[in-house]
Amino acid sequence: MGRSSQWRLTELGGGLVGQASDEISLTLPAGSAAAYHDAQISDYCAAARDFVNEPPLRLELRARARGEISGTAGFGFWNHAFVPGERRFRLPQALWFFYGGRATDIVLAKGLAGNGWKAAAFDAKNWRFGALLPLAPLGFLLMRSRPLYDAFWPLGQAAIGVSESALDPSLLGDFHTYSIEWRRDGASFAVDGEVVMRAPKVPQCRLGFIAWIDNQYAIVTPQGRFGHGLLEIPHEQSLDLRDISITRL
């Protein structure tokens, strides 16, 4: 299980982290939208953000989901940019496999849906995004024109350092092997040994490992639609993990 002794367990609301000899199960029982429900493991303290992972390294694990996921779930590396209940928001950085349920609509990569099962990378903490940030209000208005969106959103996507690739959601029904090779000059994402995405722009700083399942949704679009909230959990749903390893390259 790799560095299993170092995992920090988080159980919020009805979230449960179950551990067997060769498997960790992150489970949400049926519950209401009145509370945030989260089950996760990580290798850092959320308050201190004492991240230890930096390139070059390789993450590999086996994962499957049970039950249709209502909110979000996934695993990989991020900078703990935002969690419900926190007022402070940090410009996001991540390299991960991410699932967003039907209510989620995070449209960062042109031509891809804002939800579903994805390999994703982004790095908003760079000079390109900082240079464009003062123009964001005008940009949101311009992006509501389809011709302008087609012409100019690739500049915004590049500024956020976004790379995304949609994955077949049926993969979640059985265990598959997922890996991320993170190097200074880019990252590659693979499923069962087959590369599904290469990200040329990646964070250069330390990030934290996380694997989670929760009942939140988020909306972020180039047209200026933003929102987030909590969802009812109509039935038990889980993310099961095996053979987690993080190794230096």
Ordered by where they begin, the domains of the chain are 4-248 (2.60.120.200)
DSSP state, residue 170: G
Beta bridge partners of 12: 38
The C-alpha atoms of residue 110 and residue 238 are separated, in whole angstroms, by 30
| pTM of the model as a whole | 0.89
Q: Looking at residue 83, what is its pLDDT?
A: 62
Q: Looking at residue 133, what is its pLDDT?
A: 61
Whose tokens are 């551990």? That residue is 19
Beta bridge partners of 8: 42
Backbone angles phi, psi at 237, to 5 degrees: -145, 145
Kindly give the confidence (pLDDT) of every residue in the chain, 249 residues in length, as a single tens digit, with 9 standing for 90 and above: 444 457 999 999 999 999 987 899 999 999 999 999 999 999 998 888 899 999 999 999 999 999 999 999 999 999 998 665 566 667 889 999 999 999 999 998 888 999 999 999 999 776 565 555 666 677 777 778 888 878 777 877 777 889 999 999 999 999 999 999 999 999 999 999 999 999 999 999 999 999 999 999 999 898 888 898 999 999 999 999 999 999 999
Give the full edge-to-edge strand order of the sheet including 24-28: 16-19, 24-28, 237-248, 57-66, 176-183, 186-191, 194-199
The C-alpha atoms of residue 54 and residue 207 are separated, in whole angstroms, by 7
